[in-house]
Amino acid sequence: MKRITLTLALLLSFTFAGLAQQAPQPTAKAAQTPLEATVTKFTTARSIAEVQLTANDFERLSLSETSNWLPSYYASLVNTLMAFTEKDLAKKDALLDKAEKFYEQTAKLEPKNEEVEVLHANIANARITVDPNKRWKKYGEIVESSLRKAEKLNPNNPRVTLLKAQNIFYTPKEYGGGTDKALPIVKESLAQFKTFQPASSVHPSWGQDQAKQILLACQKTTSTTTK
């Protein structure tokens, strides 16, 4: 319970920095596709209002590009991001209902993809914030299950390793976690980010800033305990 609550606090603090990714580069003809343009708007958004606009665009694209998993992926991701910042619990759950719907659509189109499993884990984390005391067991198990699936699909994906480091960082030492054990894993994530190449300019590439923040937190905690 303690681990999950603290993990959620971390996710809340990195709402924009943690999910930001590089904006896609213009195509050869200097004209972006609708998906590229929307991803660009998302990656440059600096307010919830701007993020909401991209959510609407991704949702519309998911209806028109029914064979492409990325619009529904981003529709789910953006609704999850907004849910982390929403203080009204009913509205938070409503956003997560939408995120869940688009996640299910994504999973049908892309059933064996670690990015989709990481997405599922983040939705579950957000669900816990609505009522941690009652929800941590059910949704905590989803987080752990999704991480195992993601790691099996591609242990070299930096977001998979980031999620693993994040979980370990906020697991109490008596349960096998802590900063000492998280430190080498978050370093591994950052090393993976250096060589990671998304399949295209609109494929997921977020998380490096979040990994850097966790690294700093690990180093700060380690420095404090060794003094």
Q: Is residue 124 included in any domain, yes or no?
A: yes
Domains contained in the chain, number: 1
The whole-number pLDDT of residue 118 equals: 96
The whole-number pLDDT of residue 11 equals: 47
Q: Is residue 24 included in any domain, yes or no?
A: no
105 CB-side CA count, 13 A:
24
Query: Among candidates 95, 203, 202, 103, which has minimal Cα distance to 159?
Result: 203
Query: Among candidates 38, 1, 6, which has minimal Cα distance to 23?
Result: 38
The whole-number pLDDT of residue 27 equals: 52
The whole-number pLDDT of residue 93 equals: 97
Q: Which domain holds residue 67?
A: 2-16+32-226
| Blockwise average pLDDT, block size 10, the chain, 227 residues | 42 47 53 90 86 94 96 96 92 97 98 97 92 92 95 97 88 86 96 95 91 91 62
24 CB-side CA count, 13 A:
23
The whole-number pLDDT of residue 17 equals: 46
The whole-number pLDDT of residue 6 equals: 40
Q: Is residue 56 included in any domain, yes or no?
A: yes
Q: Is residue 176 included in any domain, yes or no?
A: yes
Q: Is residue 21 included in any domain, yes or no?
A: no
Please report, for the domain that includes residue 126, its CATH number: 1.25.40.10
The whole-number pLDDT of residue 1 equals: 42
How many C-beta atoms lie closer than 10 Å to residue 29's C-beta? 6
* pTM for the structure as a whole: 0.85
Q: Is residue 26 included in any domain, yes or no?
A: no
